[in-house]
């Protein structure tokens, strides 16, 4: 699944979202940009050279300037491309410090899972908090701290455009798995109910895997909350 979604309102150009689906886990990588052409790369999952080329081609053809590299969390399928982004645009990842040990564990298990070409991700110079705002161009994203799938998972919410980059917290008809190190099922359920479900019902949710959904649809139809 690859697509380009644009949001527009009177008086202001809004964030556009490019979706790539990369690696054997069908992980969604997001590029967010606005009229300034500054862009944010979120959860780069590129593993093969052809996937790296797709990202570079899109950024070059649209004359974008990458200014931030963000990770919702640091499971291997969401950070495969961190090193490539750093080598190409000089950006170190930013994520919550509680994910650092998850990032540092990847080199120990990636080869066992068949990923022998994994390139070691740089570590952040700047960590993100549990709350706060990230800015790029004329746009901003609010941080929502929602651990449970991983120990310090963050989601990125655009209030102006009413969308959420949700990582592996909430999926179409499902939720993130909680059987990996640092996972906690009840914590994940609580964070979805008390943080994500407070967002508007028509808020579009772009997950780390699979199709987009909305907060309202999941409140009404997700079997984990029925």
Can you tell me the mean pLDDT for 96-110? 97
Neighbours of 159 (CB within 10 A): 13
pLDDT higher than threshold 80 for residue 6: no
Name which CATH class applies to 3-225: alpha beta
pTM score above 0.75: yes
Report the distance separating Cα 49 and Cα 46, nearest Å. 8
Cβ pair 85, 91 in contact under 8 A? yes
Q: Look at residues 1, 53, 7, 9 and name the one whose alpha carbon lies nearest to residue 30.
A: 1
Provide the pLDDT for residue 134. Answer: 97
Provide the pLDDT for residue 2. Answer: 56
Cβ pair 71, 85 in contact under 8 A? no
pLDDT higher than threshold 60 for residue 8: no
Give the pLDDT band of residue 226 (cuts 50, 70, 90).
confident
Can you tell me the mean pLDDT for 12-41? 95
Cβ pair 72, 95 in contact under 8 A? yes
What confidence tens digit (pLDDT) does each residue in 39-88 have?
Answer: 999 999 999 999 999 999 999 999 999 999 999 999 999 999 999 999 99
What confidence tens digit (pLDDT) does each residue in 116-129 have?
Answer: 999 999 999 999 99
Neighbours of 35 (CB within 10 A): 14
Neighbours of 16 (CB within 10 A): 20
Instruction: Parse the chain into domains and list their residue ranges.
Output: 3-225
**DSSP line for 49-99:** HHHHHHHHHHHHHTT-EEEEEE-S---HHHHTTHHHHHHHH-PPEE-BGGG
Give the pLDDT band of residue 13 (cuts 50, 70, 90).
confident
């Amino acid at each position: 699944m690859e697509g380009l979604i644009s949001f527009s309102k009177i008086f202001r150009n809004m964030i556009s979202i490019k979706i790539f689906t990369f690696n054997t886990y069908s992980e969604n990588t997001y590029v967010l940009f606005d009229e300034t052409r500054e862009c944010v790369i979120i959860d780069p999952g590129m593993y093969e050279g052809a996937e790296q080329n797709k990202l570079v081609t899109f950024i070059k053809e649209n004359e974008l300037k990458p200014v931030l590299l963000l990770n919702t969390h640091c499971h291997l399928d969401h950070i495969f491309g961190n090193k490539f982004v750093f080598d190409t645009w000089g950006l170190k990842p930013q994520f919550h410090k509680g994910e650092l040990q998850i990032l540092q564990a990847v080199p120990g298990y990636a080869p066992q899972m068949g990923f022998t070409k994994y390139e070691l991700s740089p570590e952040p110079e700047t960590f993100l908090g549990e709350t706060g705002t990230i800015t790029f161009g004329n746009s901003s994203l609010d941080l929502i701290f929602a651990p449970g799938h991983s120990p310090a998972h963050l989601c990125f919410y655009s209030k102006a455009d009413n969308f959420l980059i949700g990582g592996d917290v909430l999926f179409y008809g499902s939720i993130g798995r909680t059987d990996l190190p640092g996972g906690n099922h009840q914590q994940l359920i609580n964070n979805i109910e008390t943080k994500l479900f407070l967002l508007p019902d028509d808020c579009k949710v772009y997950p780390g895997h699979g199709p987009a959904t909305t907060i309202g649809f999941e409140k009404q139809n997700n079997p984990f909350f029925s």
